[in-house]
Structure 1
């Protein structure tokens, strides 16, 4: 692809959420939920491994997870306290969020493409206003597929109303980037803000 073509292309940019826009701490989540539910860290780790796939596909809800852990732990806790323990694990990646604001000002279409669950995304929407910059969301628990499955990338192109030739995708997981590239989607691994900035400038997005 020529540099001239780069600079005249109208891009749709897809961002991963975790460890690209929001740093997260899975260990903190397990500790908080273990304490909240009166269960050991080992028990919580086992249960999360058991539930994760179905939970991030939307096959089970946060309410189901709450009910099951409440029964196992035998400790009366509110649903609000449970979801807070489950979700209060994020810190914003401010330099990358600043890129979002610049892209939005230039009319770039922005979409989120994330393996996530309803509790985490609801928490993020409530606490991080930058998500309002996005034109739409492609979320595993809503579309019933998880990265690196091709179905979620195909759904992203559908929701973004763009072809693979018109988009750019950034993710911190190499396997997820490779899966997108196998579908001819222009993708790069997120390493640090300076490198991402270079990729965006190279494509004429910034």
Structure 2
């Protein structure tokens, strides 16, 4: 039996800072600044790692950018509402489950993960999940892949990891997991057929 491991952001859920900012703000300068001072920071990564709480991160963002306080408040309050499932990929999960074990391996904040976990029942189909904030580890750190293999007793040669970022795929392959670089739903289906998972 194969083990199919899925990333969340941009594989099972749409996550695009530009789309989020476009939905919340009109001013191009504000959007550009927020992208730099929120999404592209090490603080955002520490949220994913679970070493900063959402409130702590918000405080730091605002302390560093007091002139953007209102915008940062709005962004942090509403960004998770833009995490929409990629329907075509969610729809194939029950079919995949018939002959494979399914897992999630993803970098995700606690608040955002709890929000989507409560909102969508398809999470129940998975056999296990490794979420960065719970483990204090991030992709592409080798330890997070090793943790997946060890915790669920997976044979790396029978394990396939679907991610949209090449560095994360490369790191998985370094511990023996087979990588599938995600680009779109159609090519994902093709690749899953090629390995007889579908």
Question: Matched residues in 2 for 1:175 and 1:197: separation?
Answer: 22
> Contact 2:37–2:61 at 8 Å: present in 1 too?
no
Question: Matched residues in 2 for 1:74 and 1:162: separation?
Answer: 46
Residue of 84, 108, 120 corresponding to 1:116:
108
Worse-superposed segment, 113-122 or 83-92? 83-92
Alignment of 1:1-206 (within 5 A): 10-30=1-21, 40-41=30-31, 42=33, 45-48=36-39, 49-68=41-60, 72=66, 84-104=77-97, 106-206=98-198
The alignment partner of 2:50 has SS state of: coil
Question: Matched residues in 2 for 1:74 and 1:174: separation?
Answer: 35
Question: Matched residues in 1 for 2:163 and 2:122: separation?
Answer: 18
Number of corresponding residues: 189
Larger radius of gyration: 1
> Contact 1:83–1:119 at 8 Å: present in 2 too?
no
* Deviations, residues 148-195 of structure 1 (Å, cap 9, x unaligned): 111111111123321211211111111111111122211110122222
Q: CA 1:100 to 1:84, structure 2 compared with 1: closer, same or farther past 3 Å?
A: farther
Q: What displacement does 1:82 show?
A: 7.1
Calculate the TM-score normalised by the size of structure 2: 0.82
Q: What displacement does 1:128 show?
A: 2.3
Question: Matched residues in 1 for 2:183 and 2:69: separation?
Answer: 42
The alignment partner of 2:14 has SS state of: strand
Q: CA 1:132 to 1:54, structure 2 compared with 1: closer, same or farther past 3 Å?
A: same
Gaps of 5+ in 2: none
* Deviations, residues 81-130 of structure 1 (Å, cap 9, x unaligned): 876413112222111111111112x1521111111111221121122222
> Contact 1:138–1:159 at 8 Å: present in 2 too?
no
Worse-superposed segment, 142-151 or 59-68? 59-68
> Contact 2:99–2:197 at 8 Å: present in 1 too?
no
Question: Matched residues in 1 for 2:76 and 2:117: separation?
Answer: 14
Gaps of 5+ in 1: 1-9
The alignment partner of 1:91 has SS state of: coil
Question: Matched residues in 1 for 2:35 and 2:87: separation?
Answer: 31
